[in-house]
Structure 1
Amino acid sequence: MSDWNDAEEHAERAQRFYRAGQWEQALRELREALDQRPDEGEWLFGLGLTLDALQRYDEAAEAFEKALQHRGEDVPGLLHLGVDLIRAGQPKRAIKTLERVNQLDANAELGYVHRILAYTLLDRHDDAELMFYLARQHAPEPTSSNPSESEPQSASQDDGLPFYDSDLETQSIAYDYLAQSLLSRGEYDRAAWCWHEALQLDPAHPDANRSLAILHQQRGQTERARLHYQRQLRLDPDDADTLLDFADMLFETDRLAEAGEKYRRALECDGTLAIAQQRLGDLALINSHYAAAIDRYERARQLDPDLPGVHLGLATAAHQRGDDERARLWVAEELEREGQNAQQVIDLAGLLIDLEMHHDAVRLLNPLISGADHVLLSNNELYAAALLCRGVARVAMGELADGATDCERSLKLTPDNVTARLKLAEARLQTGDLEDARRWLREGLAESPYHGPMRRLNRKVRLAQFRQFVQRVFRRKA
């Protein structure tokens, strides 16, 4: 009898901890209770809720499955299981579970709503749209035009469902999920309309403003994106993900001081954000604060040793400080890692060239250029930069013809590229084609009359032409 009472006490303490938001303590107490009475369906359900709050979705789904076995199938339990299967990356299993919800209750709107997202994750967009229309068909009539005045759904209150507090809020989630489906198909205007509808239904929707901000940012509408980021942060000032996205947009649009402020604020909200430390390192590097950059990159590396680009940042800062020995060590670390985006690969190749590691630069760039994906090919400047970088390395290695070809290909994509013309002129000078070298230099100096390296090379070519002329004169006299 004492074991029975002891288990009850653990369960009661777990409930108090859960209500206080002390999830780890609640989890410990529930484990103690279930060790003594492992078949208690309600406690298993509480275990699922607690693991869900801790974002341990695989374990939460397992707990909900056990709870359903012991207390029988019901709509709340199946909904929780379906949602956590989606969160755990198992949308196929989630669909089967959520289908069971609507077999038990054809009017259970959430069974359709969550299948919108599950089908979207599987790229089954026609099915996702069908679920949206079924959700709208089975949506109850709202009791108020203001979501805050609507009565909470009794199922949410009675069964601990942390989904939505009103009919309008549930409907706004349906619009959000449909917008995600539309966005993945490139239907940007329809996606934006759905997110605006979600905000009409629920002005405090947790994701719609951020989603609209990202959408406008991708379309180059930075001021509209800024507006939605600000609205999202008014709703939740501690939203670290939104702060990061906002900071990235500010960084990309050269509003560097504001970007730094947002990165620091994101770190205040979540000190484990390695990417925010890395971005602050990038900002310090741009401002030539190399010691500060190294400090930020080191902090990022401690948080995530495999973060793409962090060793590149360390190497770049070390090189700028004149410590090429340490820079080469960091470069070697970066080369051992994977996951860099195209820009990071190009930056790394550029640093290798600065460190006179030309063969390594070419080896790094070859797979990027020969296997160029649609992202690289659709960005002329990025692809041109990769070609130019390889061309520069090849010219430095003495592979003059191949290097010149890369530079010419780069010029076709970005005709105003002065560096490409400079490297073509260098290659032509080394092969003795002085007239062609002069042609590239004339074009380059027309674009950038005060370009120092171009003017120095121009003097060198003119001197070579003068020597060539003198040699011809002496040959004729002889």
Structure 2
Amino acid sequence: MSVVHRFHIPVSVLTISMVVFAAATVVAAKNGTDTIGTVVPDHDIHYTNENSLPRWKIDWDRARALYRQGKAGQALVQYELLLQKKGTIDEARWEYASILIQQKRWRQAGKQLDILLAHDADNRRYLLARAGVSLHEGRVKQAVQQYGELFESCPDGPDALQALRGFIDALEKQGNREAQLPLLELLLLRTPEDFTLLKRTGALALALGKPEKTKNLLLPALDKHSDDAGLMKLLARTEDALHDSEKAAEYWQQLVALEPDDIYANAWLAKYYLKKGNTGMALLHVERQLKIDPINADLILQAAHLHKERGRHGKALDYLSLYLELVPADSGVRQERERIRGELSDGLIALLTGKKDNIEHLWRDVGTMSRDREGVFLHLADQLRKNGEKEKRTDVLLFLHRRLPSDKHIYQELVPLLREEGRMDELNAP
């Protein structure tokens, strides 16, 4: 059975984790060699007879020197020339392959590593590098196989962590999340202080429908990392998955305290407070979403209705007008806007005397409630028409004309009234 199939079974991985002593592995891994290592040593090649240097030694020293000078491209050319003349120097070929890896020239690096492995098939340094190159080349199945065999063959060796990390990354690229989770838990056992790894493991457990596991993994880190937004989001989503909305709300609130513009957290909290009937808090989180997504028509309409429910008709009117700029064909909302304009204008009729100062005062009052003063006053004029109060209607239209002289509708409605009342001289008066 292949290593990939074996690692589909969590028990086999967890059994390995019990055998391997975590701390010793961490120390050993720190002393091990990575796929690229130091790339090129910081010294020339040692040769016993300095009086008669072979050409290959001079070429190799030159290649190393060019790399140390930051001239990787020229160094690669020099390594190619060296290996054409003397292709049996595996250490030089390894340096060449390492630079190719560093330069992300995966196909060429793979060819060089294959040559090295043909000479030394069990060299773990070459095998690890080859697995990494396979992954970058998109040969994911091969990378999974290579990393898996490297880790399984020596799970407590100096390069075990590197092999394990590579194995996990390859499985992730393959989309094999079920096999990835127990390996992440094993890696976490060996590197318990790796907070990023902890969150990655918890997130995967949650994605796999294991919120209890996520909770057990993350809760111990809460005291030390209470200011970490990523942790708060994971815990909130976990409690939500466990159907504990009260606890989830606590974490979402902590998250928006850390990141006020988190749109998902604000959306969740808006729905939560709506269910609880707390329209004030729901509105707060809807308007926070609108700061991030100001032309979201659904959010705008929701804000309008929440303001209306809270008795803030002027603000509701503003949001309805904004919504209609985005969705002009919505006749239902257009009618709703007219109703609110009517409610506001009805409150003005009893206060209206028709005098200029009085109208200006009412204009300012409406301005404190809504930006849609023109709409409210036009509705007021229409209501006065229905009530048969011609003189006050004329006063209101004249006031609007002075502020909106280019509005033809107001002009056409005003002129016959002024003519009928013998007030045409007021049309152009200041």
Shorter chain as denominator, the TM-score bin is 0.3 to 0.5
Give 1 or 2 for the bigger CA radius of gyration: 2
Q: TM-score, normalised by structure 2?
A: 0.45
Q: TM-score, normalised by structure 1?
A: 0.41
Larger RCO of the pair (alpha carbons < 8 Å, separation 6+): 2
